[in-house]
Structure 1
Amino acid sequence: METISIILLFITFFGLLAYGVPVAYSIGISTTLTLLLNIAFMPAITTACQRMTTGIDNFALLAIPFFILAGEVMNRGGIANRLIAFAKSLIGSLPGGMLYVNTLAAMLFGAISGSAIAAASAIGSTLTEKMAKDGYPRDFSAAVNITSSTTGLLIPPSNVFIIFALASGGTASVAALFIAGYIPGLLVGASIMFMIYLYGKRKGLPMGERVSMKQLFIDFKSAILSLSLLFIVVGGIVGGIFTATEAAAIAVVYAVILGFVNRELKLKDFKSILLTSAKTTAIVMFLICTSMAMSWLFSFESIPQMFTDFLIESVKNPFLVLLVINITLLVVGTFMDMTPAVLIFTPIFLPVVMALGMHPVQFGMVMVLNLCIGICTPPVGTLLFVGSGVAKVPVTKVIKKLMPILGVMTIVLLIITYVPAISLWLPRFFGLIE
């Protein structure tokens, strides 16, 4: 019966996805149908509903709507323009300087807002037209904007790390995941800048204007209030001053105050800010509801244990096991949103990697970077379509320029997979893990 249940679960889930049914509905329907194999109709419906509601009965999840609201406030509060000005003063004079500016600004804005899509929209819409006038190819500019925006999902604060902490069953803390994300995030940013250097050298991209130290100081002073949010949120969590949820609430208050200080946020803006944030929160929470029900079904059917035994026994080499997991997650990331992917596949793969001696925090970095690459690739590729739309370039043209950058991101992924210190050094330094 277990084998039949597993086959039904995956066939219905992937079949519904292929038919174009939204991910959350595909998860909920396939979970309920599988439950009907084991128990009667009404108990199956009751169990599915119960698992959905208890799945989000978690205090840590309150951080997600707060961080979503904070990101939306920041997006409207003029933070992107200040970060772009600072990045331009810092590195804009290099050959192909505006592409470096795009990368650094996306890293900073993505980290502050916690949203890759917000970073791609805000930074791309501000810089793309200017870069096009200065002679930068739109397709390569879009590729840089898309890939650099993913760094905000690795550099804290990041909603996806909160979701991973929940899915890991407490084996990885939010604080440890947050602090661990810095080095992988910076490595991804550096790899994108390396590709910009190679492309700029080959194509002879224009150099930006060199600015004075006085202007650099002015732009830094303008951006410092925005950048300080990172230190307040992450420093407070790591220092044990407040929890991730409390930090998210503080981020909202700080973002609102900063928006008024910058004189770019008006009271009339709050209606649309709250409405957009509520819609985004509803979508995310519904995904979490159904995904938690499916995760419970995995445990009920002993799928994680069966998968662990199968992988370890059939693929004897730990190196190859990790490679298989990476390939699987890369494929998953191409057609599934990040939230359900983390909630569904963490319970399956985490026992496997822990049996091989990998720390849960390191696996969190591996999983998130895999899925970051996934949201840049078709057929789903949310970030790909947002970035192409902002740059006004056909997706097919962007993909050609995107592939080499995704290639170096994959190399960084393999380094993070096989070199634990990259993910674990900072959490150990701060005493967050043993």
Structure 2
Amino acid sequence: MDALMLVGSFVLLIALRVPVAYSLGLATLIGAWWIEIPFHAVMIQIAGGVNKFSLLAIPFFVLAGAIMAEGGMARRLVAFAGVLVGFVRGGLSLVNITASTFFGAISGSSLADTASVGSVLIPEMEKKGYPRDFSTAVTVSGSVQALLTPPSHNSVIYSLAAGGTVSIAALFMAGIGPGLLLSAVMMGMCLLFARRRNYPKGDVIPLKQALKICVDALWGLMAMVIILGGIISGVFTATESAAIAVLWSFFVTMFIYRDYKWHQLPKLMHRTVRTLSIVMILIAFAASFGYIMTLMQIPSKITTLFLTLSDNRYVIMMYINGMLLILGTLMDMAPLILILTPILLPVVTSIGVDPVHFGMIMLVNLGIGLITPPVGAVLFVGAAVGKVTIEQTVKALLPFYVALFMVLMAVTYIPAISLWLPSVVL
């Protein structure tokens, strides 16, 4: 009955179209009242939920990504990707995936990836003879890898939701393997479509121009080297790397590229703060929600439930994958990570799944949800940027859903894809 009051009130508030963050907060108060917990104990949990040094990584990485997206870095990375793969048949679709890989490894955001890369490449692909719905589908599906590769904001949120017991650096390293696998599979799909549909070959860029493009893009690519190199070498933590990423992106945008005007910075800061305020409120209320769940022993009850369904870890992981895929289509990613991690982490650790590995499984599942209706935020952004309907985009995405599911199965049942690099580097 306790769990029904807490979860039921949350679901009811969501159904009444109350914002997710406030639904969490109100459901927490209802749950606390039901089990007779003083409200001031809930307030302490809300304050404590955001009073963590590691949380500083989120605003810094979001700000760095916003500066990079609007400061011309995405356009230069697209040009650099064109030098690498643009000359083969279907080259522009490969450029799209490659540019998403580079930009995702700098911004850590699928939304920023879709908006910035899509605004440059979707019109260009259409001009070269690619269908607009296919171009949008490539952009949207390729952006999922930004959730996996460092500096993924969602890896930071997962670490927080796990109670700080999972290293952010380990999660960053673990995301590289699945991210590269996803990009490789997407590129394979693009090559297959290019051959079947006879998409055009790209032009070979002259050596002198190619060298200029590479040098121009090098400043942006250095952000990846600084972030990853600093963490791997132990020079600074993931949080400190986020602050350095802001300084580097600001320096490159304002003093090297100089495409962005100084008077535009206040508006960019305002948009960033608005985004962050929503995220921080969500994290604060999710902390109190998790506290009430723990008092109600919901995680242990869920663990018992899953273990009664089967004692086979592969079957249990299939159940969990199915649940995550369904929930990922119904709710945004960050609240699901904050709500489900405290519930599911005891389940998977009890059957021998590494918490870092499970983090990658969760991110891939919920990443697929971001590009799937009815609540796929990245899908909506991609359709808006591509100027096509949601229905057209989803239809074009169907083959890519199959490829993403194959990646999910590989990440779920081959732990080395996620765990090999952290074991070697850290």
In the alignment, is the contact (CA less than 8 A) between 1:154 and 1:365 conserved in 2?
A: yes
- Aligned positions, number: 425
In the alignment, is the contact (CA less than 8 A) between 2:5 and 2:34 conserved in 1?
A: no
Q: Which residue matches 2:160?
A: 166
Q: 1:224 aligns with which of 218, 221, 224?
A: 218
Could you say what secondary structure the match of 2:8 adopts? Answer: helix
Counterparts of 1:217 and 1:312, CA distance in 2 = 58
Counterparts of 2:388 and 2:62, CA distance in 1 = 28
Whichever residue aligns with residue 38 of structure 1, its letter is I
Counterparts of 2:220 and 2:121, CA distance in 1 = 19
Whichever residue aligns with residue 283 of structure 1, its letter is I
Q: Which residue matches 1:24?
A: 21
Counterparts of 2:204 and 2:412, CA distance in 1 = 39
Q: Are 1:339 and 2:334 an aligned pair?
A: yes
Q: 1:396 aligns with which of 381, 391, 394?
A: 391
Q: Are 1:35 and 2:32 an aligned pair?
A: yes
Could you say what secondary structure the match of 1:377 adopts? Answer: coil
Using the TM superposition, give the Cα deviation of residue 423 of structure 1 relative to its aligned residue in structure 2, in angstroms: 0.6
Q: How does 1:371-390 map to 2 (within 5 A)?
A: 371-390=366-385
Counterparts of 1:140 and 1:291, CA distance in 2 = 38
Q: Which residue matches 2:264?
A: 269
Could you say what secondary structure the match of 1:250 adopts? Answer: helix
Q: Which residue matches 1:122?
A: 116
Q: Which residue matches 1:351?
A: 346
Q: Which residue matches 1:157?
A: 151
Q: Which residue matches 1:138?
A: 132
1:251-277: per-residue Cα shift (whole Å, max 9, x none)?
Answer: 111001000211112211211111011
- Worse-superposed segment, 335-344 or 310-319: 310-319
Counterparts of 1:110 and 1:319, CA distance in 2 = 31
Using the TM superposition, give the Cα deviation of residue 213 of structure 1 relative to its aligned residue in structure 2, in angstroms: 3.5
Counterparts of 1:21 and 1:395, CA distance in 2 = 24
Q: Which residue matches 1:68?
A: 62
Counterparts of 1:184 and 1:172, CA distance in 2 = 18
Q: Which residue matches 1:367?
A: 362
Q: Which residue matches 2:230?
A: 236
Could you say what secondary structure the match of 1:118 adopts? Answer: helix
Q: Which residue matches 2:188?
A: 194
Whichever residue aligns with residue 107 of structure 1, its letter is T
Measured on the aligned residues, the alpha-carbon RMSD in Å equals 1.2
1:290-348: per-residue Cα shift (whole Å, max 9, x none)?
Answer: 11111111211111111112211222221110000111111111111111111111111
Whichever residue aligns with residue 256 of structure 1, its letter is F
Q: 1:109 aligns with which of 100, 103, 108?
A: 103
Q: How does 1:164-313 map to 2 (within 5 A)?
A: 164-260=158-254, 261-313=256-308
1:92-145: per-residue Cα shift (whole Å, max 9, x none)?
Answer: 111111111111111111220111111111111111112112111111111110
Query: Any runs of at least 4 consecutive aligned residues in structure 1 with deviations exceeding 6 A, and if so which?
Result: none
Counterparts of 1:73 and 1:241, CA distance in 2 = 24
Could you say what secondary structure the match of 2:222 adopts? Answer: helix
Q: Which residue matches 2:412?
A: 417
- Worse-superposed segment, 109-118 or 79-88: 109-118
Using the TM superposition, give the Cα deviation of residue 68 of structure 1 relative to its aligned residue in structure 2, in angstroms: 1.0
What runs of 5+ residues in structure 1 fail to find an aligned partner? none
Q: 1:82 aligns with which of 76, 80, 92?
A: 76
TM-score normalised by structure 1 residue count = 0.96
In the alignment, is the contact (CA less than 8 A) between 2:94 and 2:190 conserved in 1?
A: yes
- Worse-superposed segment, 193-202 or 247-256: 193-202
Whichever residue aligns with residue 111 of structure 1, its letter is A
In the alignment, is the contact (CA less than 8 A) between 1:229 and 1:251 conserved in 2?
A: yes
In the alignment, is the contact (CA less than 8 A) between 2:134 and 2:393 conserved in 1?
A: yes
In the alignment, is the contact (CA less than 8 A) between 1:95 and 1:208 conserved in 2?
A: yes
Using the TM superposition, give the Cα deviation of residue 161 of structure 1 relative to its aligned residue in structure 2, in angstroms: 0.7
Counterparts of 1:402 and 1:213, CA distance in 2 = 36
Could you say what secondary structure the match of 1:181 adopts? Answer: helix
Could you say what secondary structure the match of 2:97 adopts? Answer: helix
Counterparts of 1:380 and 1:361, CA distance in 2 = 27
In the alignment, is the contact (CA less than 8 A) between 1:416 and 1:422 conserved in 2?
A: yes
Counterparts of 1:168 and 1:329, CA distance in 2 = 17
Using the TM superposition, give the Cα deviation of residue 150 of structure 1 relative to its aligned residue in structure 2, in angstroms: 1.5
Identity, in percent, stands at 43
Counterparts of 2:29 and 2:131, CA distance in 1 = 49
Counterparts of 1:178 and 1:262, CA distance in 2 = 28
Whichever residue aligns with residue 118 of structure 2, its letter is G
- Worse-superposed segment, 357-366 or 218-227: 218-227
Using the TM superposition, give the Cα deviation of residue 193 of structure 1 relative to its aligned residue in structure 2, in angstroms: 1.1
Counterparts of 2:165 and 2:53, CA distance in 1 = 17
Counterparts of 1:186 and 1:18, CA distance in 2 = 38
Could you say what secondary structure the match of 1:156 adopts? Answer: coil
Q: 1:92 aligns with which of 64, 70, 86?
A: 86
Q: 2:5 aligns with which of 5, 8, 26?
A: 8
In the alignment, is the contact (CA less than 8 A) between 1:111 and 1:153 conserved in 2?
A: no
In the alignment, is the contact (CA less than 8 A) between 1:90 and 1:216 conserved in 2?
A: no
